[in-house]
């Protein structure tokens, strides 16, 4: 039976485990997914403070102040960021205050320096301010006791900054998946070695390695397995023993030397899926010892696209993410495209924006061995099965 991409992905994702929780230092948790709720133990900011360099005043003292009729105030003290005020500001008085310095009692606003001039040890003020103007209040960013981040939050730079504001030096996060990667095939030649007749470079392993990193996983390079059952099994078992997931490429089709299938069958509960998609029809998916195994097709474009549509969301789920799929959007075709196939076609496309609209054109020849079709592309467009679309019609697009 041929599964649709959505069916296959749903079935696969339902079996993917979320990895256990560990505590990590704040400087070592970027990119992880939070596994606890974080509440504010303190107000942020912790005290009322000035948003400007200027003068803390009683706003009633400067009502109607102008260049012609300045308000004339005496200065009680100067407050730098980090100072605690020692004197209240009374009527007719001001405190010189810098951005971030604590508001002195008595003052209810800050006049910015640009509308003031020093005068005989005091200050002349040429503009009024409203009560509370240029004051940042205690707790206005986060109030003590408030829920600031929920489990599942992806820790990006703003979240890391917030952790520090909350005085959190370590947090509970989900482990990142370690992912073992094995290429299979007697034709594969390592980089730097001469290409003998009939041989090709092993490119998939490197592309998959980068995709694992991009998806927030930790890749483990397990090299090349020859088309030999015993040796392939040995390498796959070694890979599984040291990683949370295994990705293989090649050997899952119906060819004579596709030994990966029989080896995978011995490792665990593996399904050989013919997913109704192009590129990438043959693929294997299963679980062994609770660890996901992805058998990607050997053709370079298929391998990269199947990873994108299946493995990436799975690795995100393992790491604790809840949003697993990249957003899709509509793009207008710049050329006619035909998909006579009974499978949805993920064409490699160049997506460009013009006046807020996205346009798509394909990257030329789309064979599943033509890696360059992806190198030229910045996205994929989805051509439903058995349709011919004219330039000007819209398709679903996503960045790749
Ligand atoms: P297979 O499914 O093993 O028959 O592989 C399908 C096609 O992909 C064949 O042309 C292989 O040579 C090619 N292929 C398999 N593995 C790789 C790889 N790691 N790098 C580049 N091409 C590969
Ligand atoms: Mg092969």
Q: How far apart are CA 64 and CA 61, in angstroms?
A: 9
Handedness of CA 161, 327, 180, 213 (dihedral sign): negative
**Report field, pTM of the whole predicted structure over 0.85:** yes
Domain with CATH 3.90.105.10 in the chain: 22-43+155-174
Q: How far apart are CA 98 and CA 348, in angstroms?
A: 55
Domain with CATH 2.40.340.10 in the chain: 329-399
Domain with CATH 2.170.190.11 in the chain: 49-136
Does 96 have pLDDT greater than 90? Answer: yes
> Beta 188-189 vs 49-50: how paired, if at all?
unpaired
| % of the chain at pLDDT higher than 90 | 96
User: Where is pLDDT greater, at 252 or 394?
Assistant: 394
pLDDT-derived band at 313, boundaries 50, 70, 90: very high
pLDDT-derived band at 254, boundaries 50, 70, 90: confident
**Which residue CA neighbors atom 23 of ligand 1 most closely?**
298
What number does the ligand 1 atom closest to the CA of 251 have? 3
Does 1 have pLDDT greater than 80? Answer: no
Residue with tokens 């200027």: 54
3 CA distance to ligand 1 centroid (A)? 23
CATH for 329-399 (1.10.3720.10, 2.40.340.10, 2.10.70.10, 3.40.50.720): 2.40.340.10
Q: How far apart are CA 367 and CA 361, in angstroms?
A: 16
**Which residue CA neighbors atom 14 of ligand 1 most closely?**
298
| Cα angle for residues 115, 118, 120 (degrees, 5° grid) | 150
- CATH 2.170.190.11 for domain 49-136: yes
CATH of domain 5-19+176-318: 3.40.980.10
CATH for 22-43+155-174 (3.30.465.10, 3.90.105.10, 3.40.47.10, 1.10.10.60): 3.90.105.10
For residue 250, count other CB atoms closer than 10 A to its CB.
Answer: 28
Token digits for 363? 């990257």
Cβ burial of 388 (10 Å; 0-12, 13-18, 19+) is exposed
For residue 136, count other CB atoms closer than 10 A to its CB.
Answer: 18
Return the CA Rg of the chain. 31
Q: Is the peptide bond before 121 cis (omega within 30 degrees of 0)?
A: no
Q: Assess whether the C-beta atom of 352 lies below 6 angstroms from ligand 1.
A: no
Q: Assess whether the C-beta atom of 227 lies below 6 angstroms from ligand 1.
A: no
What number does the ligand 1 atom closest to the CA of 224 have? 19
212 CA distance to ligand 1 centroid (A)? 19
Domain with CATH 3.40.980.10 in the chain: 5-19+176-318
pLDDT-derived band at 272, boundaries 50, 70, 90: confident
Q: Assess whether the C-beta atom of 204 lies below 6 angstroms from ligand 1.
A: yes
pLDDT-derived band at 383, boundaries 50, 70, 90: very high
């Amino acid at each position: 039976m041929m599964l649709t991409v959505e069916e296959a992905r749903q079935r696969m994702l339902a079996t993917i485990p979320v990895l256990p929780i560990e505590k990590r230092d704040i400087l070592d948790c970027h990119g992880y997914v939070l596994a606890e709720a974080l509440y504010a133990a303190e107000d942020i900011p912790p005290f009322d403070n000035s948003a400007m360099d200027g003068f803390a005043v009683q706003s009633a003292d400067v009502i109607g102040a102008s260049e012609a009729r300045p308000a004339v105030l005496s200065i009680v003290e100067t407050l730098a960021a980090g100072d605690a005020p020692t004197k209240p500001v009374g009527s007719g008085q001001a405190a010189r205050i810098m951005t971030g310095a604590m508001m002195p009692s008595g003052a209810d606003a800050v006049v910015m320096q640009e509308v003031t001039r020093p005068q005989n040890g005091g200050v002349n003020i040429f503009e009024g301010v409203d009560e509370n103007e240029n004051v940042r209040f205690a707790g206005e960013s986060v109030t003590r006791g408030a829920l600031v981040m929920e489990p599942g939050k992806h820790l990006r730079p703003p979240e890391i900054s917030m952790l520090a504001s909350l005085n959190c030096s370590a947090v509970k996060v989900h482990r990142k998946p370690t992912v073992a990667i094995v290429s299979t095939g007697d034709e594969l030649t390592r980089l730097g070695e001469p290409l003998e007749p009939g041989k090709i470079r092993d490119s998939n392993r490197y592309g998959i390695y980068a995709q694992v990193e991009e998806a927030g996983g930790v890749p483990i390079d397990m090299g090349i397995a020859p088309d030999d059952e015993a040796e392939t099994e040995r390498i796959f078992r070694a890979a599984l023993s040291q990683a949370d997931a295994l990705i293989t490429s090649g050997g899952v089709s119906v060819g004579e030397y596709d030994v990966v299938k029989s080896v995978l069958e011995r490792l665990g509960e593996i399904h050989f899926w013919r997913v109704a998609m192009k590129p990438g029809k043959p693929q294997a998916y299963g679980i062994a010892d609770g660890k996901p195994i992805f058998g990607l097709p050997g053709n370079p474009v298929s391998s990269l696209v199947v990873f994108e549509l299946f493995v990436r969301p799975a690795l995100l789920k393992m790491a604790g993410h809840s949003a697993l799929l990249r957003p899709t959007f509509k793009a207008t075709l710049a050329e006619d495209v035909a998909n006579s196939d009974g499978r949805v076609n993920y064409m490699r496309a160049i997506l460009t924006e013009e006046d807020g609209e996205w346009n798509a054109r394909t990257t030329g020849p789309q064979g599943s061995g033509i890696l360059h079709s992806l190198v030229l592309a910045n996205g994929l467009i989805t051509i439903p099965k058995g349709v011919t679309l004219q330039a000007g019609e819209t398709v679903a697009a996503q960045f790749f």
